[in-house]
Amino acid sequence: MNDFLLFILALAPILCLIVALTGLKMPGHLACLGALVITAVLAGSVWKMTPANIGLASLEGICNALWPIIIVILAALFTYNLTLETKAMDSIKAMLASVSTDKRILMLLIAFGFGNFMEGMAGFGTAVAIPAGILVGLGFDPLLSVVTCLIINSTPTAFGSVGVPTNTMHAITGLDTVKISSDVALIQSVVQFIIPFIAVVVIGKGFKALKGLVLFTLIADLAYIVPQYVVAQFIGPDLANIIGAIICMVVIILYAMFAKTPDNPDFKVASSGEKKQTLTIVQAFKAWSPFIFIFVFLLLTSKLVPFINKPLLKIASQVKFYPTGKPLTFCWVNTPGVLILLAGFIGGAIQGASFKTMLGILGKTVKSNVKTIITICSVLAVAKIMGYSGMTSSISKELVSVTGKYFPLISPLIGTIGGFVTGSGTSTTALFGKVQTETATAIGANSAWLAAGNLMGAGLGKMICPQSIAIGSAAVGLSGVESKIMGKVVVWTILFVLLAGIICYTFPLIGLV
C-alpha cells in the first residue's frame, strides 16, 4: 500500500469526526465514540495491530484522560458551581463592576482580567459566558460583548483549566511540560499583546475607542502578559493564566482608582452595576476564598517549594499499559484536580455551604459532564491507538513529503482546524499533538515549538467554534444570531492564524527559539 493511501486512511477517523460534528451535527460524545471505533478497525485491519494491543492502547488513553485531565476539569467546574450556589459569584461580579464607569475600562477588567482568570481556573466556556453576562448586565451591547470575549479567550486556552491542554500535550508526546509551556508563551506573545487593543476597538465600535486609553490598555496588557510569560517559563502551565490575570486585575483596579483615567461621555455606563454592593474585607475574602485557596495550594505544591513538592510527588503509582509504551505515573495528591477539590471544599465551608450540599454539587457536576468525560476518554484512546499503531507516523510522513521545511507555516492552522471542530484545546492536543512532534522530528524542527503551535492554533479555532459561539450567545440571551457572531469573529481568527504561521516559521530562523 502506497504512502498516500496510508495517509488518507490514517486521517479517516479525524475526517469522519469533522463530518459527524459539522455536517451531521452529531453530539460530540457520539462522534468521538464513532471515531474510536473507526480508528480501532483501521489499526487492526491496515496497520495489523492485534486486538489485545488495541484494547491496551485504549485503556491507557482512557486512564490518562481520567487522571489527571478529567479530575481537573470536574474539580474546577465544581468550584465554580459552588460559588454560584453560595451566591459568592454575585459578590465577585459586584466588586468588579464597581471599579469604573468607563465601559472600556470595565471591559478590560471583566472580559480581559477576570475572563482570563476564569479560563485559568475553570475553562470550558466559563471565560466567555460569565464575563459576557456581566457586561450585558452593565448595559453593554450583547453581540459585541460575546465577540469581545471570544477574541480575548483565544490565546489563554493553552493554559486553561489549570494548564490541562499543555499537560495533555506532555502526556501525549512525552515532552517536558515546562519546555512546552515556555514555547507556548513565546509563540503566543505577539497575538496576546495586540488582543486587548483589538478588544477595546471592538467593544468601542472603532479605533476612536482607543483615544485616551492607549496607555491604560498597554499597562493592563503588560500586567497580564509579563507575569504569564514568566510563570510559563519557570513554573509551567498550571498557574500561568491565574497569576497573570490576578496581577492584571489588581493593576487595573489600582490604576483606575488612583491614576487619572479618561473621561469620555461616549463610553460612560449609566451605573457601575445593577446592584450597588459594598463588601468588607472579610466578605470579599469569603467570596474569593475557593480561588484564593486554589492559588495558594498550587503555588505551595509547585517546584518553587521543593520541600513540599518532592515528598508529595512520591505519593504516586506507575502503571505500564502498552507492552512497548512508557509507564503512566498517577500522582495521588500533588495533582491539580485533588488540590482544587480540597480548595473548593474549604472555600465552600467558609462560605457557609454544608458538606452535604457540597457533595450534592459535586455529584451534579459529574452527572452534567458525563458526555464531556466520554468525549475526552474517546479522543485520548484514539490518540493512543493512532500513535502505537503507526497511523500518526503515516500522517506525519506524508505531511513532510508535501510541505518539507515549510510545515511550521501550517502548524498552527492544523490546531485551529482541531479547535474549530472539537471546541476543545485538550481534544485538539490529543488528536494532533503527536502528528506535530513526529513531523518536527522528521524535518529537524523543534518538537516542543510545533507542539506550542498546535496549542496556540487550538485556542484560535475555539474563537469560531459553534460550541463556543452557542455558549456565548446563550449567556447574553441572544438566539438566531450565531452567524453574525461568527462573521465578526472569523476576520480576527484569520488574522491571528496568519500571524501564528509566520511566527511559528520565522522565530526559529532568527534565533528566538
pLDDT, tens digit, 9 for 90 and up, residues 48-96: 999 999 999 999 999 988 988 889 888 888 998 999 999 998 898 888 8
Could you tell me the pLDDT band of residue 23, with boundaries at 50, 70 and 90?
Answer: confident
Question: Which pLDDT value is given to residue 276?
Answer: 53
In sequence order, what are the residues at sequence separation of 6 or more whose Cβ sits closer than 8 angstroms to the Cβ of residue 144?
202, 203, 205
Helix (H) or strand (E) holding 322: none
In sequence order, what are the residues at sequence separation of 6 or more whose Cβ sits closer than 8 angstroms to the Cβ of residue 78?
340, 341, 344, 361, 362, 365
The whole-number average pLDDT for the span 128-141 is 86
Whether residue 28 contacts residue 371, with contact meaning beta carbons closer than 8 Å, is answered with: yes
Task: Report how many domains make up the chain.
Answer: 1
| Lowest mean per-residue pLDDT among 209-223, 251-265, 404-418 | 251-265
The whole-number average pLDDT for the span 101-124 is 90
Neighbour count for residue 297 (Cβ, 10 Å): 19
Please give the Cα distance from 81 to 276 (Å, whole number): 23
Farthest-apart Cα atoms in the chain, separation: 72
Could you tell me the pLDDT band of residue 117, with boundaries at 50, 70 and 90?
Answer: very high
Question: Which pLDDT value is given to residue 434?
Answer: 92
For residue 274, pLDDT over 70 is answered with no
pLDDT, tens digit, 9 for 90 and up, residues 384-405: 999 999 999 999 999 999 999 9
In sequence order, what are the residues at sequence separation of 6 or more whose Cβ sits closer than 8 angstroms to the Cβ of residue 190?
499, 503
The whole-number average pLDDT for the span 125-132 is 84
For residue 275, pLDDT over 60 is answered with no
Question: Which pLDDT value is given to residue 269?
Answer: 78
Could you tell me the pLDDT band of residue 475, with boundaries at 50, 70 and 90?
Answer: confident
Q: Which three cell numbers stand for residue 418?
A: 482541531
Report the percent of the chain where pLDDT is more than 90. 68
Helix (H) or strand (E) holding 331: strand 328-331
Question: Which pLDDT value is given to residue 68?
Answer: 82
Could you tell me the pLDDT band of residue 270, with boundaries at 50, 70 and 90?
Answer: low
Question: Which pLDDT value is given to residue 272?
Answer: 44
The whole-number average pLDDT for the span 469-496 is 85
Could you tell me the pLDDT band of residue 427, with boundaries at 50, 70 and 90?
Answer: confident
Could you tell me the pLDDT band of residue 341, with boundaries at 50, 70 and 90?
Answer: very high
Give me the domain span that covers residue 429: 3-476+484-509
Question: Which pLDDT value is given to residue 273?
Answer: 44
